Amino acid sequence: NNGALKLKDVNTLIDKLNVDVQFAGNKVIINNISAALGKGSMTGNGTYALRSTAKDAYKFALQAKNAEIDSSIFKGRINADVAVSPHSYRVNRRAVGSEKEVYGYRPFVKAAIRLDDVLINMPTVPAFGDSDTNMGLDVTVTLGPKVHLYNKYLYNMWLKGGLHIGGSTRYKIATGTVESTEGTVTYLRTIFKLNKA
């Protein structure tokens, strides 16, 4: 009750931290996990079965309301509803050596995320390697007002729009538009002014 947590690379203190977890034989029940993040908050709950069929193994939900994050890469407010649960999907028949339709269960992430008053300062484009992760996705990201990409050596852009990412972490399907109507990009010490991007 009323704890606090500080992450090394995040300036925001996770404050007023409350955790209520119940162990009930085969099941772990997260009745409540909540915390204050700046002037906003985060709450969550869920269940996890230690022994279970794949379709009933876990269920988690997380809500962020004006949660404020301050770090060297990201500073801003997040509103989000995120749910993770098992989801049936058709397995690649060649991967399992079967001629029949094969179905399995994988984590499915459903999320609606809104970013407001955001400053992102990424000094380089991150390199993402291949991953064996296979999660279903239904993620919507909406850019609210004042979403600013800024790095004094690379770019200074204001963004608007939004994306929907479906499919899975292996086969992503992204739709939507992200636009910049003003700003600059610097390449080899030459500054390019953006009219529309």
Residue-wise pLDDT for 88-136, tens only, equals 888 876 655 667 777 889 999 999 999 999 999 988 766 666 667 889 9
pLDDT at 61 over 90: yes
Question: Which residue, 180, 127, 193, 184, is CA-closest to 150?
Answer: 184
Q: Tokens 């399907």 identify what position?
A: 173
First to last CA, the chain: 48
pLDDT above 90 covers a percentage of the chain that reads: 71
Contact status, residue 87 vs residue 136, Cβ threshold 8 Å:
yes
Instruction: Pick the range with the lowest mean pLDDT from 11-25, 83-97, 162-176, 178-192.
Output: 83-97
Contact status, residue 55 vs residue 86, Cβ threshold 8 Å:
yes
Q: Is the dihedral of CA 14, 85, 170, 98 positive or negative?
A: positive
Pairing type for strands 14-24 and 27-37 reads antiparallel
What proportions of the chain, in percent to the nearest 5, are helix, strand and coil?
A: 5, 70, 25
pLDDT at 182 over 90: no
Residue 65 has what pLDDT? 98
pLDDT digits (tens, 9 = 90+) for 16-37: 999 999 999 999 999 999 999 9
Residue 133 has what pLDDT? 84
